[in-house]
Amino acid sequence: MKPTLLLTVLALLVGTLAARSQPSVDDLAKFIAGLPAGDPGLAAVERESWWLTYSGELDRKWAKMDQRQLERVRAWASGRPEIVGASGTVYYMFSGPDFLYARTFFPNASTYILCGTEPVGSVPDITKMDPGNVAGDLNNLRQALDTMLTTHYFITKDMRVDLTRGSIGGTLPLLFVFLEKSGCSINAVNFSGPSVEIDFRSPAGKRQSLYYFKTDLSNGGGNGAFLTFCKRHGPGVSLLKSASYLMHGDGFSTIRNFLFANSTLIIQDDSGIPFRDFEQRRWNVRLYGVYDGPIPLFAKYYQSDLAAAYKQSRVGDLGFAFGYAWQIPKGLLIEATPK
């Protein structure tokens, strides 16, 4: 075979193999986030009208949410070195797939540990899926995101329905959306039993790790290995948001005590650790926003001592929504640091 012909054949072979190669995990994540991936196998799908509609709707809702909510959170955190400067581990218990607020409050952390009762799920090679199935799965994903982008928290029962009806499901695709929309790039994804580790880089190029565990945080929920893992990465700063007031009862005392013992800072709304449990001799507590009591669904968790503390403190508006009351004027935040 002549050298010129041989080079031509090799070039065609290399081109064929490249076209058949699986997209990188970062390209898959970008595609799911409605961003151009740059992968040849995904390029044709990205020209489909349904994908362009999906991408446009997601961009519009994200931009609106970022302006209404995240810009205000970033501005608030930027004036507090103990928050924006935290460079170690972030514990976000009862988070579900809400990486968004962990990153917005603590952008410089090295490690984020999230957990919930939702499964990790998967993101298959989209280039090998039927386009109609991809469109349906992304529509389910968009529906799962709708509440979060409007009210800043997930409704667990709705999310379970939306993310268990197709091949692109579980928490992983939501984590991908939050990472890519935040300007991060994904290096690798590693699965281990009911957990996943995502190795990624921040927009500034800092290497960071995100862990998500499917686990039951109740006493006796079989979470010993998870808490051992958390302790090995601690101490850290903790975030609690829309936590269903679970730690207000005796059934979640183990995780409550873990956070007290391993947190250098706790940021939460009133649904996290009860205000009465922050002993004055052990904790410095600062209150922000307003406390009007829980929404009707959680009315029985009204905290009279917290109401009295807010009345005495006379603090002003927080400036962004935080907690189950999603309206900005009703934002409430509690910051606690050990003495």
Task: Give every CB contact of residue 133 below 8 A, 6+ residues apart in sequence.
Answer: 166, 167
**Each residue's pLDDT tens digit, 43-87:** 989 999 999 999 999 999 999 999 999 999 999 999 999 999 999
Whole-number Cα distances in Å, 234 to 247, 328, 336? 21, 33, 17
Q: pLDDT confidence of 157, banded at 50, 70, 90?
A: low
> What would the two tokens of residue 19 be?
């076209």
Residue from 295, 293, 287, 337 nearest 317 by CA: 287
- Kindly list the distances between the CA atom of residue 149 and the CA atoms of 66, 177, 262, 316, 325, in Å, as whole numbers in the listed order: 9, 12, 31, 25, 14
pLDDT of residue 9: 39
Higher pLDDT, 167 or 276: 276
φ, ψ (nearest 5 deg) of residue 144: -65, -30
Residue carrying structure tokens 């002549």:
2
Measured in degrees and rounded to the nearest 5, phi and psi for residue 175 equal -60, -40
Q: How far apart are CA 301 and CA 118, in angstroms?
A: 25
Instruction: Specify the pLDDT at position 54.
Output: 95
Whether residue 15 is predicted with pLDDT greater than 60 in this model: the reply is no
Over residues 241-295, the pLDDT tens digits come to 999 999 999 999 999 999 999 999 999 999 999 999 999 999 999 999 999 999 9
- pLDDT of 13: 40
Whether 187 and 177 have beta carbons less than 8 Å apart is answered as no
Q: How confident is the model at residue 156 (pLDDT cuts 50, 70, 90)?
A: low
Q: How far apart are CA 224 and CA 100, in angstroms?
A: 26
CA distance 308 to 327: 22
How far is it, in rounded angstroms, from Cα 251 to Cα 274? 14
* Residue percentage of the chain with pLDDT more than 90: 75
CA 66 to chain centre: 15
Are the C-beta atoms of 110 and 89 separated by less than 8 Å? yes
* Residue 286 · residue 256 · CB < 8 Å: no
Q: Is the peptide bond before 235 cis (omega within 30 degrees of 0)?
A: yes
Please state whether the peptide bond connecting residue 203 to the residue before it is cis, i.e. omega within 30 degrees of 0.
no
Residue 19: is its pLDDT beyond 50?
Answer: no
Residue with tokens 């667990």: 156
Q: How much is the pTM?
A: 0.91
Spatial CB neighbours of 251, under 8 Å, sequence gap ≥ 6: 218, 219
Of 43-57, 86-100, 143-157, give the lowest mean pLDDT range.
143-157
Report the pLDDT averaged over residues 117-131.
Answer: 90
